[in-house]
Amino acid sequence: MDSSGSLDSGEEEPPDKIRKIIEDKVGEPVIYLAESDLNRDGFFGREYLAVIDGRILVLNRDYEIIGEYRLRDIDSIEVRDYLGGGEVEVEMAGRYITLIRFTRSKVDEFRKLVRVVYGIKYGGLKPEYLNEDYSSNNNSAKKTDTLRRLLKYLLPYKKLGALALALSLILTGLNLAPPYLFKILIDDVLTGGNVGLLPNIIAMLIAVYALKTIVDIGRSYILSVLSQKVVFDMRKELFEHIQKLSLGFYDKYSSGRLLSRITSDTSRIMWFLTWGVQSLVINTLTVVGIGVIIFSIDWRLSLFALAPVPIVVAGIYKFKKKSRRIYHKAWRKWSDVNVILVDTIPGAIVVKSFNREDYEFRRFISRLRDVVKANINVTKLRLEFFPALGFIMSLGGAVIWWIGGMEVLKGTLTLGTLTAFISYMWQFYGPIQSLSNLIQPLQEALTSGERVFEILNVKPEIEDQPDSVDFEFKGHIKFENVCFGYEKYVDTVRDINLEIRPGEVVGIVGPSGSGKTTLMKLLLRFYDPSSGRILIDGVDIRKIKLSSLRRQIGIVLQEPILFSGTIAHNIAYGKLDAEPEEIIAAAKAAYAHNFIMKLPLAYDSPVGERGSRLSGGERQRIAIARALITDPKILILDEATSSVDTITERLIQKALENLIKGRTTIIIAHRLSTVKNADKIVVMHNGRIVEVGTHSELLRRNGLYKRLWEAQFEETKVEAIKVR
């Protein structure tokens, strides 16, 4: 093994201490310090980058300075991203130098460092970059807190919960009664000869069973009602909460994860809070109750009776652990089979045209065999375990019959007592198994609880201020030195200065990823800029009521999102009380009326889930009608024509011309021809505005716009040849 530090034998030093050591060494305060987890030879290890006034130092794990660079000699400093790692690279005197290497785990720290260096070099270092502890995640709560917070959901239903608990206690008591009645039956009636007692005992037995049935029904009903109420409250709270959160939150959690938190996590919690808690109480009480009873009957016999319990408990525990793996494997194998079905049945045309029927068949069969094998393993495990367990318990029973039988023969124990003892003993194992079954759901419910609370703990980032205003826009927009990044310390857009006058049509173009859409998201205040500000009619949009802002800005997205419901419903989404003639007018302006009237149910036609019954162009035109119905002062068209064919595009173009009249319009376009006639074209590149001007001005300038224009012109020619 190489000795160059592949094994990290040193103790983890706290960051403050390291900073102190380095400060002592160089005799200057360290502005920013970042620790890497790789050394320059590419082995796991430690090196440091320290930013001090005017210099960057590289130190090795023994805090020896192995590199020193003056900031004014550095032309650029950048983080380079690689698979599984990255490096900080500086450009000095035309050469590129690696300062430090690190794995992906440390990327954020070094990005931050680079920002700090830029801040020092060019001014404008923001103190929050130094102080803010961005990695700490205070959302996750402790388990006990989670439990306490979960139980709070039961509080509004105290009475119902108490009733259910009382019924559970009664049920436990009733479960313990029959063996005692058996004892009286055998000792006093069958062997004692007190025949007159027989009808009474039978009547009591029937009464106990009847009562048990009734209490059980009542308890189950109450628990179901309780659990439905609790889960309703929780889902309501969650949905209400996430509606308030900013888009940044939706970016962080995929929709699938959010959906499952609202549906399955809450169900799991519901089950635990109601059935789980009750089952815990009943089973614990039953175990304790039976323990007390049998020990008071005969403690010696009880010791023998309970001897198998530890073995049974250990066995159940072991089975649980093993079975989870084996059941999971069976489930996984089954979903592998499903994958093939989901692929090949809708993709039948591909399978057939490539002659791959045999191949798919063999693949399917081999996976199906795996399913068979996995299911047989499940059966094997069950057969290994349950019969053995049953045998051990029966063995315990036999021992009791042996010892107890001797005592009955000696006359020290009545036959009735022995019978009661044995039936109590058999009743003992049920609750034990139920209790061990509860462990996993309990853990799952706590995890689910954590996940739900993690979301409830997120504070809405974008909220109205108390002094937010609501006013009618004229449509004047101004971006002032706006910077913003989705990830901290990595700006997606930078130093944006842009003024748009009321009624102006502005095109925004640039390569994908240049920050066009981000600008619009900032204008709609889905995010707030990290620095700089955006003004509408001279008012900072952070001071405008969100409802006012978004009502007066209409947006048509590249991928129109429709909701299930009718076409009329979708068009009127922005104005629920729209009159029918307004809906028709909006649809006509969007060139959608004609195709809608051709549908049998016209505007009353359901669009299907997410608009699946309509074509892309039809969906797009409905989205345009939707934007139009609110009569917005400012309109944003985000690549609204990029995903449709040329004929539809022409229709949409016409629709857009209607839409633009008399509004401030911002058109984000991929096809430059779309924005050719705009009053002003803004060219973006790498998050910055690089050119502004009219189409002809920009062509004359010979810059990025001209290159893009020529490239697209070539593309169009190629397309035209293809069509011919």
Partner 1 sequence: MKWINLVDPKEVEARFSEKGNALTLKVNGVTYSEVVPRKPFPLSRPNFIIFTTRDGEEICAVKDYTKMDPNSVKAVEKLLNKMYFIPKIKRVIALNYEGGAYVWAVETDKGRREFKTRGRRIYQMDDGKIVITDTHGNVYLIENPARLDRRSREMLEEIV
Nearer to partner 1, 302 or 630 (CB): 630
Least Å from the CB of residue 627 to partner 1: 15
Q: Which of 596, 636, 655, 659 binds partner 1 (CB under 8 A)?
A: 596
Q: Which of 597, 615, 710, 711 binds partner 1 (CB under 8 A)?
A: 597
Q: Considering the rule CB under 8 A, would residue 660 count as an interface residue with partner 1?
A: no
Q: Considering the rule CB under 8 A, would residue 602 count as an interface residue with partner 1?
A: yes
Q: Considering the rule CB under 8 A, would residue 603 count as an interface residue with partner 1?
A: yes
* Strand-pair category, 477-484 with 531-536: antiparallel
Q: Residue 128: left (phi > 0), alpha (psi -120 to 50), or beta?
A: alpha
Q: Considering the rule CB under 8 A, would residue 580 count as an interface residue with partner 1?
A: yes
The values of phi and psi at residue 591, to 5°, are 55, 40
The answer to whether the beta carbons of residues 663 and 616 sit under 8 Å apart is no
Rounded distance, CA 119 to CA 117, Å?
Answer: 5
The values of phi and psi at residue 462, to 5°, are -115, 115
Least Å from the CB of residue 602 to partner 1: 5
Q: Considering the rule CB under 8 A, would residue 606 count as an interface residue with partner 1?
A: yes
Residues in the chain: 724
Q: How is the chain split among helix, strand and coil, in percent rounded to 5?
A: 60, 15, 25
Rounded distance, CA 569 to CA 66, Å?
Answer: 68
Nearer to partner 1, 214 or 597 (CB): 597
| Site for partner 1, residues 227 to 246, rule: CB under 8 A | none
Of 239-247, 376-384, 580-588, 637-645: span binding partner 1 (CB under 8 A): 580-588
Q: Considering the rule CB under 8 A, would residue 563 count as an interface residue with partner 1?
A: no
Q: Considering the rule CB under 8 A, would residue 610 count as an interface residue with partner 1?
A: no
Least Å from the CB of residue 554 to partner 1: 17
Nearer to partner 1, 538 or 600 (CB): 600
Partners of 55 in beta bridges? 52, 70
| Site for partner 1, residues 145 to 174, rule: CB under 8 A | none
Nearer to partner 1, 171 or 556 (CB): 556
Least Å from the CB of residue 600 to partner 1: 7
Q: Considering the rule CB under 8 A, would residue 121 count as an interface residue with partner 1?
A: no
Q: Residue 68: left (phi > 0), alpha (psi -120 to 50), or beta?
A: beta
Identify which of 292, 326, 682 has the alpha carbon closest to the alpha carbon of residue 497.
682
- Residue located via tokens 């367990």: 389
Nearer to partner 1, 379 or 594 (CB): 594
Least Å from the CB of residue 604 to partner 1: 4
Of 44-52, 161-169, 560-568, 702-710: span binding partner 1 (CB under 8 A): 560-568
Least Å from the CB of residue 591 to partner 1: 11
Tell me which DSSP letter residue 414 carries.
-
**Contact residues for 257 (Cβ-Cβ < 8 A; gap 6+):** none
Nearer to partner 1, 375 or 564 (CB): 564
Q: Which of 65, 165, 351, 585 binds partner 1 (CB under 8 A)?
A: 585
**Contact residues for 405 (Cβ-Cβ < 8 A; gap 6+):** 418
Nearer to partner 1, 58 or 572 (CB): 572
Burial pattern 255-274, b for ≥16 Cβ within 10 A else e, equals eeebeebbeebbbbbbbbbb
CA distances from 457 to 1, 267, 460, 461 (A): 48, 20, 9, 12
CA distances from 95 to 113, 118, 120, 242 (A): 21, 19, 22, 50
Of 276-284, 451-459, 542-550, 566-574: span binding partner 1 (CB under 8 A): 566-574
Q: Which of 600, 647, 723, 724 binds partner 1 (CB under 8 A)?
A: 600
The values of phi and psi at residue 631, to 5°, are 55, 60
Q: Which of 581, 720, 723, 724 binds partner 1 (CB under 8 A)?
A: 581
Residues in contact with partner 1, total (CB under 8 A)? 21
Q: Which residues bind partner 1 (CB under 8 A)?
A: 565-566, 568-569, 580-582, 584-586, 588-589, 594, 596-597, 600-604, 606
